[in-house]
Structure 1
């Protein structure tokens, strides 16, 4: 509790306090403080802030959906097959965990750049160079690559814990493979899918490095906006207000997700 209080609660209390100040104390060289709501009013009245927040949400949703679509078939195959090198394939999926995110993102810059691999391959079919770098698709692809293991591990774990005898019993009772999957496998894998979806969505919603390197200034996400407020514009009070709004929004989305899906079922709760 002491650790959480010092490194989580206390910093966030400071951020909340700054969000209500006219000028950030000590940062702007002022000693006294004046309370105001103007920082929050500025966020909700400037369309650029709301546009960046909406773009961040759309990119996070797209990243989550694409990651799930890519991961589920692979996790299903690994969980239900008896291939000899199953552990090796699983290791290859989580291998990105071992490499620095900046290095991985810079590798995509070499692929998407004007003289990168994509345009090099297009030149063989006579197609002109396409602008891939500093676009939203580039950001989504980079985020999918980074957060794919966060989806794979819970989905694979959930699928691995399914009793195969239940699937065989369903088939013996007349269900075909698709019906057995819909009635047995899919519902029992829902906790892992829910956990993976929540992890990938929250992490991609607040991503900083990937949109900074692949999206550029024209495709900034909410974390980049907060970072620029603190580091470049030195507007700590507005940056704090944006950070508070973003945190409250994420907590609200997690709460809704919990009400709809039930987070307790993802971590050993009753799934009956």
Structure 2
């Protein structure tokens, strides 16, 4: 490395990635933030003037606040269900032997190879009034249930889409755990449940944290599934932004909604991260 000092080498190596991040993330966010302050007129469109009226209208209107609450509530519920299902799946995956481990792993990540839109259409056919789920209900004598275009349908599809993002981080954390530690707890008189709760779970806390943050963030910003399975009346934040941009053509209001959703997500995710990390430090020392 004859042309550069050793102290500048890390900066030079990080420069391409940093420039790409700035071009694809920072600049679009900055432009969206600037757009959210522009004045909008229904007759002439976006004006070269600035105002805080869009943020004031959003924060004072129960219509927008209810959509924000629904988005956060469904994202949190999706994250909770994915953690309840994904952690046992990851534990089973970590204890499997080849070739069953590879088959099970392929079954978990296989749905990622299919478009989200295709999976959403598949769930719409399954959950419809004439779908397979309602056919099973009628066969069992439970009658027909309205599942499609409800919050239940959105959560079911989101769990199906987001589950791999929970299983993989937890499985990675379990790969770092020596199986003999759990066996040692058994030999010292701990039951399997106690060993799982006191030995295994504290070790995979950071994996659960990573998976929860990814699942929550992706669920709160999901568009295709709420749009196709929630219908026109059951809106979430991403579908609301789409409507303001494409139907109402009120780009500043749509940009303001997008910025507020981003800020709210960051606040919730950072708070959750601080709580989980503090608990992990107390548990693991």
The two structures share one fold, judged by TM-score above 0.5: yes
CA distance in 2, matches of 1:125, 1:152: 33
Query: Does the 8 Å CA contact 2:70/2:236 hold for their aligned counterparts?
Result: yes
Give 2:33's aligned residue: 16
CA distance in 2, matches of 1:238, 1:98: 35
- Cα offsets for 1:220-246 (capped at 9, x unmatched): 110110111111110111111111111
Give 2:6's aligned residue: none
- Cα offsets for 1:84-107 (capped at 9, x unmatched): 411111111110111111111100
CA distance in 2, matches of 1:83, 1:2: 42
Query: Does the 8 Å CA contact 1:158/1:188 hold for their aligned counterparts?
Result: yes
Aligned residue among 224, 228, 236 for 2:243: 228
CA distance in 2, matches of 1:179, 1:29: 61
CA drift at 1:82:
3.3
CA drift at 1:259:
1.7
Q: Which segment is superposed worse, 45-54 or 153-162?
A: 153-162
- Cα 1:183–1:123 change in 2 (3 A) is closer
Provide the TM-score with structure 2 as the length reference. 0.87
**Correspondence list, 1:62-211, <5 A:** 62-82=77-97, 84-211=99-226
Give 2:3's aligned residue: none
Q: State the secondary structure of the residue aligned to 1:128.
A: coil
Q: Tell me the matched-pair count.
A: 262
Query: Does the 8 Å CA contact 2:46/2:251 hold for their aligned counterparts?
Result: no
CA drift at 1:83:
6.0
CA drift at 1:118:
1.5
Query: Does the 8 Å CA contact 2:39/2:46 hold for their aligned counterparts?
Result: no
- Cα 1:152–1:29 change in 2 (3 A) is closer
Give 2:277's aligned residue: 262
CA distance in 1, matches of 2:46, 2:51: 18
| Structure 1 unaligned spans of 5+ | 266-270
- Cα offsets for 1:170-218 (capped at 9, x unmatched): 2222222222112210100111111111110110011100000001122
Query: Does the 8 Å CA contact 1:80/1:160 hold for their aligned counterparts?
Result: no
- 1:244 correspondence with 2:272: no
| Structure 2 unaligned spans of 5+ | 1-17
After TM superposition, what 4+ stretches of structure 1 lie above 4 angstroms from structure 2?
none
